[in-house]
Amino acid sequence: MHFSREEIQKAAQDARISVSAQQEEELLAELKAFPLQEDFFLRLQKENVEQTCYGPVEENIMASDEPGASLPLSEVLQNAPDADESCFLVPKVVE
Amino acid sequence: MFLYPVIEEEVFAIYAHLSARELAVEVKKNEGFREKMAAALLQKCSSAQKEYDLFSSWYGEKIAQKYKEVISEKASSDKKLLGVPYVLDDTICSLAFPAACGSPMLQNYRPPFEAYAVSLLSRAGAFLCGKARVAEFGLGCLEESPLGAVTANPRGKGHIAGSGAAAAVASGAVSFALGVDTTGELREAASYCGIFALKPSYGAISRRGLIGFSPSLEQAGILASRSSDLALVFQEIAVRDPQDATSRETFSFSPQGDQAKIRKIAVPKDWSSVPSLHEEVKKVFADKLEQLTAMGFELDYISLPHFFYAPAAGSLLAAVEAFSSLANYDGVRFGCREEGRHLQEMYTKTRSRGFGKRSSNFIIFGALVSSGKYYDKYFVQAQKLRTLIKRELLACLLEYDCLLTPTVPFTAPLLGRKASDHGGLNFVEASYTMAANLAGLPALSYPVLSEGSLPLGLQFIGRDKGEADLIEIASFLKKENF
Amino acid sequence: MTQLESVIGLEVHVELHTKTKLFCRCRTDFGAEPNTQVCPVCLGLPGGALPVLNQKALAYAIKASLALNCRIAKEITFDRKNYFYADLPKGYQISQFFQPVGTKGYVEIEVDGKVKKIAIRQLHLEEDTGKLIHLGGILSSPYSRVDFNRAGVPLIEIVTEPDIRSAEEARLFLQKLRDILRYIDISDCKMQEGSLRCDANVSVRPAGSDSLGNKTELKNMNSFRSVYQGIEYEINRQRELVMRGESVLPETRHWDEENEVTRAMRGKLASADYRCFPDPNIPPLKVDSSWVEQLADSIPELPDARLKRFVEDYGLPLRDAQLLTGSRELAEFLDATLAHYRQPKAVSNWIQGELLRLLNLENMGITSCKVKPQDLGRLLEMVDKGVISGKMAKDIWEEMFASGKGPETIVKEKGLVQISDENILGQIVAEVIQENPNSVKDYLGGKKKAIGFLVGQVMKKTKGQANPQLVNKLLREKLTEGS
């Protein structure tokens, strides 16, 4: 598979991960070695095969609209890197 | 080159020879046994931890006390797994232990809920010793770790175990382990360590409480030293969960001892053309095929043209799902955080530091192949390929009772190598395993142990909900000293 | 210069009033303490985010689709829309792209006396996000607090085709939509409280052209008035740009209520790549056709049909019918009253006058009104039969409204029955004539108005219970007799 450096940087940015020049190099190499048969994929594009997006699944599972337990506030915030007495805190949203 | 571990500890001898069923009976009827069992557990877990570094968190020296407490609470009622010790992949949530999942992102993370399967095991009386090391988020086998620790193989000095859970079972410290199998991880580790692994049909065991990255591929499975233990544990946890929409109707499961119903076995005719297949594995597998024929099984070599595309298709699909499923690691509600001048910078700094290299690369790979330009070219085509692989396997299993392959193309790699030596995104280790995850079919890895060489595994892929057939043939072959 | 026409499409989000969230069983109560209605699913905790669809929410979405003339999908799927923001716990929002609940519907509005169809492209279910609380303004705040109570609350999003041509049409569409959704009782539809939210895609083009100009997405319009004003402003802004030969930037703009202008939002120019794909955690759901039929049967008569019936069957003036069908409950009150007392205009007058007066006075909704429709019917019947006077009816009504008692009970308790006995009233009338010779003289002298005073005197003596028409008649008779 071949991707440009810009495409890798854009994908990394969309995933909110920064990529060093060295990592970019490694990633390019890994992608190049990826054993995807491009011809086969091109052929597949023209074939009318349905997509499989799920594991084997059965009948619908739905839930009735009956309230269940929520987490106690102490457990909600127990793992938060930054919080006040009732809310999670995040840095300012405007860049 | 390596030695089977000699089990010297005398106390340990009190449970090493017992199946889970026998152990539960002893614990139930014999209070004196419980005392000895607690002491044995302490000794065995401590020495295994020291030797192989398999736990990410466990009770440590409190384990004996804890064991006695927990068992005395439960001993009064009839429980099939009473006092049977087990471990969990660190990616399965329990209330008793943190779930770091092999990632700096989740160091010290304590889930405020437990996995449904863990609740069921607890109800059945099983004793959770601790959480076992996994590769970051359970992506592939544990060959390198951003947290530094890699578990050693109890049956191959200087080699990796693949996962802490496999080492825990292989060392005899616990009777069984519950782990996650997304691309074949559970079966691979079992193959490296010479134990049994069962990856059940997709949806047979609830995924609630599994910290995964690929919801359409992942499935909780069982590691054990005995096929009968696989059956016993599976029976307890293969229960439909109304809080998991992908969980399936509980199906009847009653393996009939060691009488194999399986007679007709298919083998992919191209099984030996996998590029990374090691000579040793090739030779052993060929021998085993001959043996099976000699035992009267009907073996056919059939053409499965899409089977070997599975690692590429699976890797691509899992990567896209991982890109999305790991987006909740954002430094807001849990996990680590690196401060930034504003929200988006905080995200990028947190995620760049929190994810190890393999996870990062995998996520970026997923973002690439699902981006606007490549969505149809790669992602959609991989989903179509998944359909073809699945159809092909289902058609094969209409005619044959199971499909047989090696589990992994090689034996346990040496400690200290990097996952990227195997190709990173390529999943060559999943050459034979990935197809079962894509099709959602059950698969069992059968251990082949021979003096003087590293263990390896044979993989049986069965029909949908055909777990009983797989366990029966495993029991039959074991009885026949196959 | 060619004429420019505006092209508008709306995206309307409606919060469904289910008890629990779309994919978990946390409550949706408004105004709860921050982060007290959250769980591993809606917080997106590792290993916890396994969504299970709320069946009620799906039922509501199907009802809405039916009421908006949509086709209902035989199978629906849910998809992940991936992006990072502080109010989005999982890093993706579960929505519907590939197989939404409803497609290809329409709503009819009346423009310049003509019916116009606004086509609905699709109606789908999705989860709401959490809420950010900025300290001070969004620009100056050094950090924000995040409350996830609202994360996962069920929404339906209704997307129209770009069929709307003016701010007024947009407002009419939105009001009609709100009326319909209130009729089927799936949402409070309060714009101020955010249970009805509307974004608008606005562009302009030469009239008659088929191509679309660059569009802006307009947000933050929190009332019907601001929807109208915002769109109106934006159309004019774009027109002026085009007239000057400048181009319209495709961007997201914010309606600034205070200054009555739209402003570009920063960093919203680039179109995001959401990488939508089916959520593997939620298998496709087959929509049972008999269930859809059942839901269709549960849909009440909708505003348009009811309006027509009120005019044609009840003979009500259009104004009355419009006012009464504006609220499902009022219209149903009218229907129920008429089932007992078939005088549509009288009932309509009473509802618009007396009922609304008291409801407004008490600041109450009709649903909490204690009066039963059949009791109103009987009250009006008693007036017709002369058992009580119109004036008495109003007093009794107030008592009915306060206590919920029937009119007969109140009449009995207070001894309020109207005196219509000619003998009794005749005697009292005779007394009054005797006691008020001056007024009698005035009347006979041609001051016809003087009779009013005499009637008043009779009412006073009977504590208001005399039948006023009868008193009038008797007085006239007696006064003429004497002359």
- For chain C, give every domain's residue range: 4-290, 301-414, 422-482
Number of CB atoms found within 10 A of residue B6's CB:
6
Question: B92 and chain C: CB distance < 8 Å anywhere?
Answer: yes
| Mean pLDDT within A62-84 | 96
pLDDT bucket at B423, cuts 50 / 70 / 90: low
Which chains share 3+ C-beta pairs under 8 angstroms with A?
Answer: B, C
Question: A36 and chain B: CB distance < 8 Å anywhere?
Answer: yes
Q: Tell me the per-residue pLDDT of C324-375, one tens digit each, with 9 for 90 and over.
A: 988 888 899 999 999 989 899 999 999 998 899 998 888 888 888 889 999 9
pLDDT bucket at B421, cuts 50 / 70 / 90: low
Interface of B with C in 241-260 (CB under 8 A): 242-246
Asked if B164 and B174 touch (Cβ cutoff 8 Å), the reply is: no
Question: A31 and chain B: CB distance < 8 Å anywhere?
Answer: yes
Number of CB atoms found within 10 A of residue B156's CB:
25
Question: C133 and chain B: CB distance < 8 Å anywhere?
Answer: no
B324: nearest CB among C85, C86, C92: C92
Question: B109 and chain C: CB distance < 8 Å anywhere?
Answer: yes
- Helical pair B381-399 and A38-46, crossing angle rounded to 10 deg: 90
Quick check: is A55 in a domain? no
A66: nearest CB among C20, C133, C145: C20
pLDDT bucket at B7, cuts 50 / 70 / 90: very low
Question: A69 and chain B: CB distance < 8 Å anywhere?
Answer: no
Alpha-carbon dihedral sign for residues C94, C97, C99, C100: positive
Asked if B394 and B135 touch (Cβ cutoff 8 Å), the reply is: no
How distant is the Cα of C120 from the closest Cα of chain B, in angstroms?
A: 26
- How far is residue C141's CA from residue C268's CA, in Å, rounded to a whole number? 19
| pTM score of the predicted model | 0.89
pLDDT bucket at B34, cuts 50 / 70 / 90: very high
- pLDDT reading at B372 higher than 70: yes
Buried b (16+ CB within 10 A) or exposed e, B467-481: bbbbbbbbbbbbeee
The strand ranges marked E within C75-130 are 75-76, 79-82, 92-95, 102-111, 114-127
Place of tokens 């929410």: C57
Chain B residues touching residue A22 (CB < 8 angstroms): none
Phi, psi for residue B111 in degrees, rounded to 5: -70, 135
Are the Cβ atoms of C147 and A86 closer than 8 angstroms? yes
Give the per-residue pLDDT at C469.
Answer: 82
Higher pLDDT, B285 or C438: B285
Give the per-residue pLDDT at B452.
Answer: 86
> How deeply is C156 buried, as exposed, middle or buried, from its count of CB atoms within 10 A (0-12, 13-18, 19+)?
buried
pLDDT bucket at B6, cuts 50 / 70 / 90: very low
Higher pLDDT, B108 or B130: B130
- pLDDT reading at B11 higher than 80: no
- pLDDT reading at C212 higher than 90: no
Are the Cβ atoms of A44 and B335 closer than 8 angstroms? no
| Mean pLDDT within C277-306 | 95
Question: B219 and chain C: CB distance < 8 Å anywhere?
Answer: no
pLDDT bucket at C474, cuts 50 / 70 / 90: confident
Q: Tell me the per-residue pLDDT of C73-103, one tens digit each, with 9 for 90 and over.
A: 999 999 999 999 999 999 999 999 999 999 9
Best of B342, B350, B365 to disrupt the A interface by mutation (most A CBs within 10 Å)?
B365
Give the per-residue pLDDT at B144.
Answer: 84
Number of domains in chain A: 1
Find the domain containing A20 and state its range. Answer: 5-46
| Residue C79: closest C-alpha in chain A | A53
- pLDDT reading at B2 higher than 50: no
How distant is the Cα of B324 from the closest Cα of chain C, in angstroms?
A: 7
The DSSP call for residue B277 is -
Are the Cβ atoms of A73 and C266 closer than 8 angstroms? no
Of the options 1.10.10.410, 3.40.50.1360, 1.50.40.10, 3.10.310.30, the CATH number for the domain spanning C422-482: 1.10.10.410
Chain B residues touching residue A10 (CB < 8 angstroms): 371
Contacts of residue B72, Cβ cutoff 8 Å, sequence gap at least 6: B34
Contacts of residue C341, Cβ cutoff 8 Å, sequence gap at least 6: C347, C376, C377, C378, C380, C381
C50: nearest CB among B244, B332, B367: B244
Chain C residues touching residue A64 (CB < 8 angstroms): 55-56
Confirm whether the ipTM is greater than 0.95. yes
Quick check: is A15 in a domain? yes
Task: Determine what percent of chain B is predicted with pLDDT higher than 90.
Answer: 85
Q: Helix or strand or coil: residue B278?
A: coil
Are the Cβ atoms of A87 and C37 closer than 8 angstroms? no
Greatest mean pLDDT range, B355-369, C238-252, C440-454:
B355-369
Interface of C with B in 244-273 (CB under 8 A): 273
- How far is residue B433's CA from residue B409's CA, in Å, rounded to a whole number? 10
- Domains observed in chain B: 13-258+436-479 (3.90.1300.10), 309-379 (no CATH)
pLDDT-wise least confident of B207-211, B308-312, C271-275, C315-319? C271-275
Question: C52 and chain B: CB distance < 8 Å anywhere?
Answer: yes
C15: enclosing H helix or E strand = strand C4-15
Are the Cβ atoms of A58 and B248 closer than 8 angstroms? yes
Chain C residues touching residue B324 (CB < 8 angstroms): 80, 82, 91-92, 275, 277
Are the Cβ atoms of A90 and B201 closer than 8 angstroms? no
Best of B113, B343, B368 to disrupt the A interface by mutation (most A CBs within 10 Å)?
B368
- How far is residue B156's CA from residue B54's CA, in Å, rounded to a whole number? 15
- pLDDT reading at C267 higher than 60: no
Question: C481 and chain A: CB distance < 8 Å anywhere?
Answer: no
- How far is residue B241's CA from residue B248's CA, in Å, rounded to a whole number? 8
Segment C226-230 long-range contacts (CB within 8 Å, at least 24 positions apart): C226/C255, C226/C257, C227/C167, C227/C170, C227/C171, C227/C174, C227/C198, C227/C200, C228/C167, C228/C168, C228/C170, C228/C171, C229/C167, C229/C255, C229/C260, C230/C167, C230/C200, C230/C255, C230/C262
Contacts of residue C209, Cβ cutoff 8 Å, sequence gap at least 6: none
Nearest to B249 by CA among C457, C437, A60, C342: A60
For residue B251, give the amino acid letter: F
| Mean pLDDT within B98-123 | 95
C72: enclosing H helix or E strand = strand C71-72
How distant is the Cα of B252 from the closest Cα of chain C, in angstroms?
A: 23
Question: B65 and chain A: CB distance < 8 Å anywhere?
Answer: no
pLDDT bucket at B111, cuts 50 / 70 / 90: very high
- pLDDT reading at C241 higher than 70: yes
Question: C283 and chain A: CB distance < 8 Å anywhere?
Answer: yes
| Mean pLDDT within B131-152 | 92
Nearest to C379 by CA among C339, C414, C337: C337
Higher pLDDT, C454 or B392: B392
Are the Cβ atoms of B381 and A44 closer than 8 angstroms? yes
Are the Cβ atoms of C53 and B245 closer than 8 angstroms? yes
Q: Tell me the per-residue pLDDT of C102-124, one tens digit each, with 9 for 90 and over.
A: 999 999 999 988 999 999 999 99
C84: nearest CB among B214, B215, B327: B327
B156: enclosing H helix or E strand = strand B156-160
How long a stretch of residues is chain C? 483
pLDDT bucket at B459, cuts 50 / 70 / 90: very high
Are the Cβ atoms of A90 and B343 closer than 8 angstroms? yes
